[in-house]
């Protein structure tokens, strides 16, 4: 139940904590917080993916440390027992990255969900929005870091020989195959040796909902990756990798999302 639909959320607005985790690629020139201030679903809290990430690195939105995460989530008024619904208004379905962060830091996976279709579908259905900021009462959130759910560059390099897990890349095929320049400066084109490619966009409908479970399974099978082995997802900066991880959790309910956090922003440095 990683996904909930818009009708379900509309009926349960007062029973859940709602997060807007919209994040946009830099070249879009969009400001997520300004858009949130203009309109959002009632009772929604804004989650700034860049500010709520590791600060002492030049890599984008890396996982922060556990104490910082506890402070961030406590300041958002979220409790350990809360059911959380995360949405976005982004073409890269950034809500999935926030979903992954919560699971990594130990929130019960059965209590963390992404709104299928996000704000785009909600608005297309003419469901109500507000502009007033949500009042937050601080909590005392306690995290439980699941370090096995993240890989670093050293582990990715070692795995090229060991083959303990498979690496699947969510970027476009053109980027994966090195046929186009990377959107971030200072990165070479290409991909991690022996990795597989499944562009996240192939799993998303025009209305920003996920395609059916049957079609998701078919897409994964077409990659020729052995789905019986451990899978680690990567992308440009760890955002769309989380889209693949959530999609995979829909067809394998026991799968715990595992991400190469640095992704190509780290691995592809010149």
What residues are labeled active site? Answer: 235
Contact 131, 37 (CB under 8 A): yes
Residue at token pair 């890269």: 92
CA gap 82, 265 in Å, rounded: 33
Give φ, ψ of 30 to 5 degrees. -105, 145
Contact 230, 146 (CB under 8 A): no
Name the residue among 267, 256, 200 with its Cα closest to residue 232.
Answer: 256
Name the residue among 116, 151, 109 with its Cα closest to residue 249.
Answer: 109
CA gap 118, 97 in Å, rounded: 14
CA gap 175, 178 in Å, rounded: 5
CA distances from 17 to 12, 112, 219, 232 (A): 10, 10, 32, 29
Whole-angstrom Cα Rg for the chain:
18
Helix (H, G, I), strand (E, B) or coil at 130: strand
């Amino acid at each position: 139940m990683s996904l909930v639909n818009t009708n379900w959320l509309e009926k349960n607005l007062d029973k859940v904590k709602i997060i807007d985790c919209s994040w946009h690629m830099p070249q879009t020139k969009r400001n997520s917080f300004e858009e949130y201030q203009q309109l959002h679903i009632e009772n929604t809290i804004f989650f700034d993916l860049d500010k709520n990430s590791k600060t002492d690195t030049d890599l984008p939105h890396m996982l922060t440390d556990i104490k910082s995460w506890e402070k961030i989530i406590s300041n958002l008024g979220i409790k350990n027992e809360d059911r959380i619904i995360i949405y976005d208004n982004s073409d890269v379905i950034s809500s999935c990255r926030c979903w992954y962060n919560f699971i990594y830091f130990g929130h019960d996976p059965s209590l963390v969900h992404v709104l299928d279709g996000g704000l785009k579908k909600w608005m297309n259905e003419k469901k109500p929005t507000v502009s007033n900021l949500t009042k937050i009462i601080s909590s005392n959130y306690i995290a439980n870091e699941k370090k096995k759910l993240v890989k670093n560059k050293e582990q990715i390099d070692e795995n090229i020989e060991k083959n303990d897990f498979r690496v699947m890349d969510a970027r476009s095929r053109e980027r994966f195959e090195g046929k186009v320049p990377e959107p971030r400066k200072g990165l070479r084109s290409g991909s991690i040796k022996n990795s597989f490619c499944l562009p996240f966009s192939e799993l998303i409908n025009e209305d920003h909902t996920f395609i059916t479970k049957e079609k998701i399974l078919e897409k994964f099978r077409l990659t020729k990756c052995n789905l019986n082995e451990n899978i680690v997802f990567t992308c440009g900066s760890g955002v769309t990798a989380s889209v693949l991880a959530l999609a995979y959790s829909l067809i394998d309910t026991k799968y715990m999302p595992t991400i190469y956090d640095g992704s190509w922003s780290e691995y592809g440095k010149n």
